[in-house]
Amino acid sequence: MTGVALLDQHLLSVLIALPLVGAALLLFFPRGGDGAIRTFTVLVTIAEFLLSLAVVARFDVATAGMQLVERAPWIPQYGISWIVGVDGISLWILMLTTFIMPITILSTWSAVVKNVKEFMVFMLILETAMVGVFLATDLFLFYIFWELVLIPMYFLIGVWGGERRIYAAIKFFLYTFVGSVLMLVAIIALYFHHHAVTGVYTMDLMKLYELTIPVKLQGWLFAAFFLAFAFKVPMFPFHTWLPDAHVEAPTAGSVILAAVLLKMGTYGFLRFAMALFPAAAADWTPVIAVLAVIGIIYGALVAMVQKDVKKLVAYSSVSHLGFVMLGLFAFNLQGIEGAILQMVNHGVSTGALFLIVGIIYERRHTRLISEFGGLAKVVPVFALCFMVVTLSSIGVPGTNGFVGEFLILLGAFKVHKWYAVVAATGVIFAAVYMLWMFQRVMYGKVTNEENLRLTDMNGREVAYMLPLLLFILWIGVYPQPFLRRMDASVNAFVTRFEAKKQAALAGSPPGETMLVRYFDVKKGGAR
């Protein structure tokens, strides 16, 4: 097969494989040739990004289902296959992943100086795993990639992290792992169920979508998926691993963690938990909406009183991801499109915020807000970038954050009016904690002599920050190209969700309580 044909027919598989191949090639690089290793890695990630642009180019706006699908039997006797595809739900999250990678690699130039080769190998394995997560449409394959993400991330935190890196790495690993195991249990239960109904063993997501799963089973399976994804998002009250992981992770780790890894949770809800178990998802909505709203407010309030900039940004993520969850569980077009867009926005803006924090950390080796003050005068270009990213994070109109938050709240308002009202106060708190932090770091007089010796952003730093700023403004001013490519898939999702929910509930008498539906608890005792 020629290279062109390979790309033509196996574009998505190539996208998954390319970083892994890059990682393998890196092994042949001599240790100590750090410059070459860095350059090579950044070239691999740029190539990956350019290749992913072909996905956008070949993406058909009108198609609701999976596109560029590839399927190959893998373990046929168990119904496990290599199936990859992309649709309007995964397209932009995939693009976010390939887009943020070269930026992240560029940011490590002077930040990562020990074991550069191993670091880059882990980064590239991580990219393969992340791309795989968003492209896999076989449940087993998805699970493999899902777990594969954990390993490089564990080492990135545990080896290149800060003082309490071991604690943070283990906490990160255990939290996500506990969730994952529960999900695996549910996957296997679903697998047996499909066999029981159809006589066929399969892990093909599209086949599993066709099932009408009994509502009681839906409830339990959803619960397991919920925990796995809620840990990952992270939703309140499963969030405490996140601040620790962020604070201890190296800048590049934080960027990837915030920009992509958290999206695996929200994406998982949409693609798996909600799509497979619509009746249960609908029943669980009050719980999830309440947790999302608590997360929004709680994350914002706790962010406000942080002393460490990175921790502040980490808690702000809890708040932002609460918005995404609220949008998803509105189950309407505005809410879900807003949520997907906000996943991308959060990746861009919070990724940029962690880069910003990394830039001053590299210079001062501290992230304590009280160590700074008056930086605007010393590092004006940095100040400008920081300001734009801050505005994006607090959702000022004209930036990406506004479009996402508006659509989410608009969608949520239609179905859960009071949740949306409370969530909207998060917009006020966001302004409070971000502007207060910005003021303490950037404004005022320079009180610490060391800050007078700070140098402004260099060419490399400007080069990786600029694309992020560009997208902040682009999505804010003209989000149409992004929204249009979601329409067909999200529309189909909403329609199918409603139909499947009705089908699953067909046997349930109206007015049935949750206790009866899921626990068989009937009035007057057990059955």
Partner 1 sequence: MVNGILDYLWLVPALPLLGVVLNGAVALFAERPLLLKEAGLPLPGGHGAHGHDSSHGTGHGDSHGEHHEAPAYRKLVAFIAPAVVGAAFVVALLCVLSLASRPADGRTFVQVLFPWIQAGSLLVPAALQLDPLSSVMALVVTGVGFLIHVYSVGYMSHERAFARYFVYLNLFMFAMLTLVLANNYLLMFVGWEGVGLCSYLLIGFWYEKRSASDAGKKAFIANRIGDFGVLLAMFLVFWTFGSLTYTEVFARVPLLRESGVLTTGLATAITLLLFLGATGKSAQIPLYVWLPDAMEGPTPVSALIHAATMVTAGVYMVARSSALFLLAPDTMMVVAVIGAVTAIFSATIGICQTDIKRVLAYSTVSQLGYMFLACGVGAFTAAIFHLMTHAFFKALLFLGSGSVIHALSGEQDMRKMGGLKKYVPVTFATMFAATLAIAGIPGFSGFFSKDEILWQSFSSPHGSPVLWGIGALAAGITAFYMFRLVYLTFFGESRMDPEVEKHAHESPWTMTVPLTILAVLSVAGGWVGIPAVLGGSNLFEHWLAPVFHPVAAAGAHGAAAAGAAEGAVHHSATLEIGLMALSVAIALCGIGLAYFLYRVRTGKPAEIAKKWPTLYDVVYHKYYIDEFYEWAVIRRIVNISTGLWQMFDALFIDGIVNGAAGLVRAAGDRVRRLQGGVVGGYAFSLLAGAVLLVGYILYRSVVQ
291 to 320, contacts with partner 1 by CB under 8 A? 298, 301-302, 304-306
Q: Which residue in 425, 495, 502, 513 binds partner 1 (CB under 8 A)?
A: 425
Tell the smallest beta-carbon distance from residue 68 to partner 1 (Å): 25
Tell the smallest beta-carbon distance from residue 1 to partner 1 (Å): 36
Binding flag, residue 437, partner 1 (CB under 8 A): no
Tell the smallest beta-carbon distance from residue 179 to partner 1 (Å): 13
Binding flag, residue 290, partner 1 (CB under 8 A): no
Q: Which residue in 141, 359, 457, 504 binds partner 1 (CB under 8 A)?
A: 457
Which part of the chain contacts partner 1 (CB under 8 A), choosing from 46-54, 118-126, 211-219, 256-264? 211-219
Binding flag, residue 367, partner 1 (CB under 8 A): no
Q: Which residue in 7, 82, 214, 366 binds partner 1 (CB under 8 A)?
A: 214
Footprint (CB under 8 A) of partner 1, residues 248-267: none
Tell the smallest beta-carbon distance from residue 134 to partner 1 (Å): 22
Identity of the residue, 124 or 303, whose beta carbon is nearer to partner 1 in the bound complex: 303
Task: List CB contacts of 523: < 8 A, sequence separation 6 or more.
Answer: none
SS3 track for 351-412: HHHHHHHHHHHHHHCCCEHHHCCCHHHHCHHHHHHHHHHHHHHCCCECEHHHHHHHHHHHHH
Binding flag, residue 393, partner 1 (CB under 8 A): no
DSSP per position, 195-207: HHHHS----BHHH
Task: List CB contacts of 48: < 8 A, sequence separation 6 or more.
Answer: 15, 18, 19, 98, 101, 127, 131
SS3 525: strand
Closest residue by Cα to residue 443 from 510, 376, 517, 518 = 376
Q: Using CB atoms within 10 Å of the CB of residue 200, give its burial: 0 to 12 exposed, 13 to 18 middle, 19+ buried.
A: exposed
Q: Which residue in 198, 439, 495, 513 binds partner 1 (CB under 8 A)?
A: 439
Closest residue by Cα to residue 15 from 58, 48, 53 = 48
Closest residue by Cα to residue 179 from 224, 140, 216, 133 = 224
Q: How many chain residues touch partner 1 (CB under 8 A)? A: 94
Footprint (CB under 8 A) of partner 1, residues 337-366: 337-338
Distances (CA, A) of 234 to 5, 265, 314, 456: 41, 7, 11, 34
Closest residue by Cα to residue 419 from 298, 304, 316, 330 = 330
The letter for the amino acid at 477 is V
Binding flag, residue 515, partner 1 (CB under 8 A): no
Binding flag, residue 396, partner 1 (CB under 8 A): yes
Binding flag, residue 46, partner 1 (CB under 8 A): no
Identity of the residue, 133 or 388, whose beta carbon is nearer to partner 1 in the bound complex: 388
Binding flag, residue 516, partner 1 (CB under 8 A): no
C-alpha 429/C-alpha 434 separation (Å) is: 8
Binding flag, residue 188, partner 1 (CB under 8 A): yes
Binding flag, residue 324, partner 1 (CB under 8 A): no
Closest residue by Cα to residue 233 from 285, 162, 175 = 175
Tell the smallest beta-carbon distance from residue 425 to partner 1 (Å): 6
Footprint (CB under 8 A) of partner 1, residues 464-493: 466, 469, 473, 477-480, 483-484, 487, 491
Tell me the longest C-alpha to C-alpha distance in the chain. 76
Binding flag, residue 413, partner 1 (CB under 8 A): yes
Binding flag, residue 78, partner 1 (CB under 8 A): no
Binding flag, residue 400, partner 1 (CB under 8 A): no
Identity of the residue, 256 or 352, whose beta carbon is nearer to partner 1 in the bound complex: 352
Token representation of residue 417: 């009016």
Q: Which residue in 3, 30, 459, 510 binds partner 1 (CB under 8 A)?
A: 459
Closest residue by Cα to residue 355 from 232, 471, 462, 243 = 462
Binding flag, residue 77, partner 1 (CB under 8 A): no
